[in-house]
Amino acid sequence: MEPALQALLAATGSFLFMTIIFAVIYALCKDPKKHTRRHPPPRARTAPAAELSSIESATFDPALTRIEIGELARVTRDFSPDLIIGDGSFGLVYRAKLASGVTVAVKKLAPDAFQGLREFHAEMETLGKIQHPNIVKMLGFCIAGSDRILIYEYVAKGSLDQWLYDMSSMGYDVAGTAKCPKLLDWETRIKIVQGVARGLAYMHTLYTPIIHRDIKASNILLDAEFGAHIADFGLARLMDRSHSHVSTQVAGTMGYMPPEYIYGCMMATTPGDVYSFGVLMLEIATGRRPNFPFAGGDGYEIRLVEWVTNMVSQKRYMEMIDPNLSRENLPENDVINYFAIATMCVSEDPKVRPTMSDVVGMLE
């Protein structure tokens, strides 16, 4: 056989051989079972059984009958903006009068306020058990699909923030003349501070302590006698027995947040609440918002805590008092002691801050 013919036959054979090999490989790859094993299809997400429950409600106050979502929609006129009385953490708050005649505050949570029903139930069960005269009482909750609604006791006089800064709430007429000039006088402000301190001390000394994490003037509600009630536990988290809770969520309000939270500490602690309470004390006495910088003595902008620290170092106590407050019958020693307690609470070192139980003792 001629060499040219031999070469042609050899090439043809090689081509056929390689074609057969590739055909076998292709057939193996097309095998449905082998394909499934190599690339398993994604699993369909199955919602937890609890999340499939469309409607659920519970009450924590035996004086109230079961509150249904239909009644809440009716008494809030389908959550009409006209009935909004507050904008707290994670949701709007509405004033509503139930069929039983009881006026309540209804808070409709934002859809992403809680990650799951298990977490929501745990939080509600804990908060529903809290019974203290200086903490807003949770009356119950409703769940309907993705809607989660909280029912609280209604506190008559609104927030401390309004009474410190909103002249209309303080009883001023159009001309700016005070109708009730004695409201939020020094004694009333001390009463409010003491009430907040007692409420926080109670939460911090529970068997499983609770940290509020967002103490501020708008989260303090006032009753008809100007008693203080701590509200809005949207950022509250249970602590374990080591008095700490690791969280990746930045919580709180600028101006009130302790420095350790701002600088990256993800550990929620009772001293963090103490710091926020100290800032609130300074705000109540001075009438200055802690999150708004203002002109310092040297012409540069300064924030409340820094300003008070500087003024205390110069012993200029009476100059810090809210200019709307009458100085008549205001003992300077009381003012000095007040700022001494507040500055201890806002110490940069969490270990130096007193406990809230200690603060209650010092205030009373």
- Distance in angstroms (rounded) separating the CA atoms of residues 346 and 271: 9
| Region of residue 291 (phi > 0: left; psi between -120 and 50: alpha; otherwise: beta) | alpha
Q: Provide CB contacts within 8 A for 193, sequence distance 6+.
A: 228, 280, 281, 284, 363
CB atoms within 10 A of CB 32: 7
Cα–Cα distances (Å) from 93 to 56, 107, 250, in that order, read 20, 4, 23
Would you state the structure tokens that stand for residue 165, as one six-digit string?
């800064």
Radius of gyration of the chain (CA): 31
Residues marked as catalytic: 214
Asked if residue 272 lies in contact with residue 348, where contact means CB atoms within 8 angstroms, the answer is no
- Distance in angstroms (rounded) separating the CA atoms of residues 8 and 14: 10
| Region of residue 299 (phi > 0: left; psi between -120 and 50: alpha; otherwise: beta) | left
